[in-house]
Amino acid sequence: MRGSRPDTSKSCARRCRRPPRRPFSIYPSTPNPCYAPSVKSDFLQKYGPWAVVTGASSGIGEAIARELAARGVHLVLCARRKDRLSALAAELTGLHSIQTRVVEVDLSTDTFLPTITEVTNALDVGLLVNNAGFGDKGPFIGCDLTEHLRMLHTNCRAPLMLAHTFAPKLIERGRGGILFTSSTAAFQGIPFASHYAATKGYDLQLAEGLWYELKPQGVDVVALCPGPTDTEGPRRTGVNPAKVPISTMDAKSVAEYGLNALGGNPVAVPGMTNRLLHTLVKLVPRRVATAVSGKMIQRVTS
Ligand SMILES: NC(=O)c1ccc[n+]([C@@H]2O[C@H](COP(=O)([O-])OP(=O)(O)OC[C@H]3O[C@@H](n4cnc5c(N)ncnc54)[C@H](OP(=O)(O)O)[C@@H]3O)[C@@H](O)[C@H]2O)c1
């Protein structure tokens, strides 16, 4: 009949039941940004009720904490700046129906682990976010060994010890996750940030191995590898954002990408430009990738 429309209600209902489509991407690990309420509750079911987030006092860690709170996950917020953690905890408790614990801890010290487990032992932790870390730019020998060791302990030893402590509990539950914040710096040597790149390479490889090892036991592991991100970290090491030749991402987008990547591929690179560069790095000889990185670091810190 003219003017009447065909009954599309059935096909519509069928279409709406389908999971939302992923946006086109050349990179296979692009997580699904369409976060429907049912997917949110699945997230909480798998990675809740509690998450431990290191480096939650600023930048990417703070953004991860905010995103987890929005998904209803209770938070153990860890870092050295207690005032910042307490303010964040108060804000997130007010905004969402979640509980929080604040742990003032220096991850580079020998006593950091009991400081955290004293709080977490009584909690059902489903997600560990090994995010805290820092870098240094400049000649390798220009940074004293004590500072190099502090970086090694914060960026590598602490994530190792935390993963080793929480993995058995996650395996026992048969579900959960571990997110390591690595970096695109992990994909090649970076002159004038040589040790930082090495620590991020450590995080990447540890995460990749655990991704395979723990998957059959229900535990998802991912290495989140952000490129330049607008946080306090790079500014503190003298990076001039105006001289960074690729677009800088915001911490919120990086955090969402990382959390959505849990349960997918072992390596999650947020941002199309970063993914393209990651692909290029795999195509050129390593010495070329390293030399280009060195030139770039000198440029952004000059
Ligand atoms: N921003 C980027 O361009 C970028 C790119 C790739 C990867 N990343 C990685 O992202 C992670 C977060 O960095 P960000 O960019 O968000 O920088 P940020 O804003 O400086 O955050 C670093 C966090 O780590 C914590 N932290 C540092 N040293 C610590 C220690 N010894 N003990 C406990 N907590 C410590 C800091 O808290 P306190 O100071 O309060 O202790 C802070 O919460 C790092 O692992 C970094 O390597 C950053």
- The alpha carbon of 4 and the centre of ligand 1 are apart by a number of angstroms equal to 60
Pairing of the two strands 176-181 and 100-104: unpaired
- Listing DSSP states for 133-165 in one string gives -----S-GGGS-HHHHHHHHIIIIIHHHHHHHH
Along the chain (302 residues), what's the average pLDDT of each consecutive run of 10 residues?
A: 41 44 42 57 95 98 98 98 98 97 98 98 98 95 97 98 98 98 97 97 98 98 97 84 85 98 98 96 95 90 76
Take atom 17 of ligand 1 and give the residue whose Cα is closest: 233
- Evaluate whether 267 touches 208 at the Cβ level (below 8 Å): yes
**At 52, which helix (H) or strand (E)?**
strand 50-54
Q: Which ligand 1 atom sits closest to the C-alpha of 81? A: 40
Tokens of 157: 């030893």
The residue among 226, 152, 229 whose CA lies nearest residue 196 is 152
- The alpha carbon of 155 and the centre of ligand 1 are apart by a number of angstroms equal to 9
Q: Which residues are marked as active site? A: 196, 200
Take atom 43 of ligand 1 and give the residue whose Cα is closest: 55
- Evaluate whether 203 touches 160 at the Cβ level (below 8 Å): no
pTM of the predicted structure, to 2 decimals: 0.89
pLDDT at 242: 78
- Listing DSSP states for 178-221 in one string gives EEEE--GGGGS--TTSHHHHHHHHHHHHHHHHHHHHHGGGTEEE
pLDDT at 206: 98
- Evaluate whether 170 touches 176 at the Cβ level (below 8 Å): yes
Q: How far apart are CA 129 and CA 51, in angstroms?
A: 7
Take atom 2 of ligand 1 and give the residue whose Cα is closest: 229
Cis peptide before 23 (omega within 30 of 0): no
Q: Length of the chain, please?
A: 302
- The alpha carbon of 174 and the centre of ligand 1 are apart by a number of angstroms equal to 30
Crossing angle between the packed helical segments 112-120 and 158-173, to the nearest 10 degrees: 30
pLDDT at 27: 40
Classify the C-alpha dihedral 221-222-223-229 as positive or negative.
Answer: negative
- The alpha carbon of 58 and the centre of ligand 1 are apart by a number of angstroms equal to 7
Cα 216 off chain centre by: 22
pLDDT at 51: 98
**DSSP SS3 for 229:** strand
Take atom 42 of ligand 1 and give the residue whose Cα is closest: 55
pLDDT at 246: 83
Domains of the chain: 33-301 (3.40.50.720)
Beta-carbon count within 10 A of 132 CB:
27
